[in-house]
Chains A and B, each alone.
Chain A
């Protein structure tokens, strides 16, 4: 029944149930897999898996997806580290990588994994607490990628030239959740779970939609 280590967490318990205890320091990667082995009548074993993400108390971890005309973010794992904590609000900085699919018009789609600009001005989350006044129990967040890619565009229609576009991710991949005019900020009932979806029609063809689920520890 026992398993794991001081670095990744330990498992202890009896038949059919166990307790996972997280390590004192969040491991890297932050997600560990716990398995249960259940004997079958035919002599085999059924293997059940549970993913447990370990975060520092007060932080968040979860997944984020995004759709727009020029790019999408397929489900990507993001961790938010608390950088400011007051009775009215808490501010978080992100870390992780974005699974991007760039779909610029007239260019070949390009899938690329780009790091989040953790120190960028456009990468932070603000969570307003119950004492946060008019924005109590609401939050907003921004994510910005970093790096650059080259898109292959044009051709091969009859004698069309091919050309390339240098796509600066820090300028093109900036996602702002909670700033769409006439739309309420995302809100939460339990500060340990920030989850939802957000759509902004935008002007002309710059609309976007996003879904996310960020979980904090139960100690919040």
Chain B
């Protein structure tokens, strides 16, 4: 099963901008759910950074998406992106399954490095050296995340990987598969489900 490219998200609001130079700085999106921290030395001159809310088409998406600019700069030091979430957004997943993804030029979503999850503060932080469209995502889901069943009735549960290594290469990065309605990538054989 190939990774699934998605449409590019349409802007849903105005961008928040800030000019940040070689000394570094930070910028928080208008909804307060994404903060980017630019460390000293990441850019060598005053640069306009922006965060714009967009539709989130990412696989395993949680909340809205964000268009981060500039997208034509490779930062000399990694920037830190911290996404916030709410507990009621985690139906079928959990804090340890969260991460961030960005949309590549081929419109495939790629898992971004190793996230740091603070379940108390309800934040997920990743580092990046480039910008594009970004989103908070769940790497795995247990479907259905919520269900209502009658007494003595049954419901089938399945672990679905939203991000996995594509079939063509073990060294390839994790990329997104349809998992919000569909099948996702095959789960590993040793996952287990219990009450």
Q: Which residues of A contact B (CB under 8 A)?
A: 1-5, 8-11, 13, 15-26, 32-39, 44-62, 75, 215-219
Contact of A50 among B145, B152, B187 (CB under 8 A): B145
Q: Which residues of chain B are within 8 angstroms of A49 by Cβ–Cβ distance?
A: 90-94, 142
Pair B148/A55 contact, Cβ less than 8 Å: yes
Q: Are B189 and A16 in contact (CB under 8 A)?
A: yes
A157 to chain B, nearest CB (A): 32
Residue of B nearest to A21 (CB): B154
Query: Which residues of the partner chain B approach A33 to less than 8 Å between Cβ atoms?
Result: 195
* Residue in A closest to B139 when the chains form the complex, CB atoms: A46
- How many Å lie between the Cα of A26 and that of B149 in the bound state? 10
Residues of the A chain whose Cβ atoms lie less than 8 Å from the Cβ of B187: 15-17, 38
> Bound state CA distance, A50 and B140, in angstroms?
12
Question: Does A218 contact B159, Cβ atoms closer than 8 Å?
Answer: no
Q: Given known contacts A48-B141, A48-B142, is B148 in contact with A53 (CB within 8 Å)? A: yes
Known A22-B154, A48-B97, A51-B146; contact A15-B189, beta-carbon cutoff 8 A: yes
Assuming A16-B158, A16-B187, A19-B157, is B149 touching A54 (CB within 8 A)? yes
Q: Is B153 part of the binding interface, using a Cβ–Cβ cutoff of 8 Å?
A: yes
* Given A36-B142, A47-B96, A48-B97: A11 touches B153 (CB 8 Å cut-off): no
Q: Number of B interface residues, CB 8 Å?
A: 39
Q: By the criterion CB–CB under 8 Å, are A57 and B151 in contact?
A: yes
- Which B residues are within 8 Å of any A CB, using their own CB? 88, 90-94, 96-97, 139-159, 186-195
B193: chain A residues within 8 A (beta carbon) = 1, 3, 11, 13, 16-18, 34-37
Choose one: B96, B142, B186; the contact of A45 (CB below 8 Å). B96
Contact partners of B97 in chain A: CB under 8 A: 38, 46-48
Task: Tell me whether A18 and B153 are in contact in the complex, defined as CB-CB below 8 angstroms, given that A36-B192, A37-B194, A53-B148 are known contacts.
Answer: no
> For the complex, what is the distance from the CA of A164 to the CA of B118, rounded to whole Å?
42
**A3: chain B residues within 8 A (beta carbon):** 193-195
Q: How far does the Cβ of B36 sit from chain A's closest Cβ, in whole Å? A: 26
Residues of B within 8 A of A35 (CB): 142, 193-195
| A23-B152 in contact (CB<8A) | yes
Pairwise interchain contact A37-B191, C-beta atoms closer than 8 A: yes
Chain B residues whose CB sits within 8 angstroms of the CB of A9 once the complex forms: 195
B192 pairs with A15, CB closer than 8 A: yes
15 contacts between A and B (CB under 8 A): A4-B194, A10-B195, A11-B193, A18-B192, A19-B157, A22-B153, A26-B151, A34-B142, A35-B142, A35-B194, A38-B97, A50-B143, A51-B147, A53-B149, A55-B149
Check if A22 sits within 8 Å of B149, measured CB to CB. Answer: yes
Asked if A50 and B158 sit within 8 Å, CB to CB, the answer is no
In-complex Cβ contact of B159 among A25, A44, A48 (8 A): A48
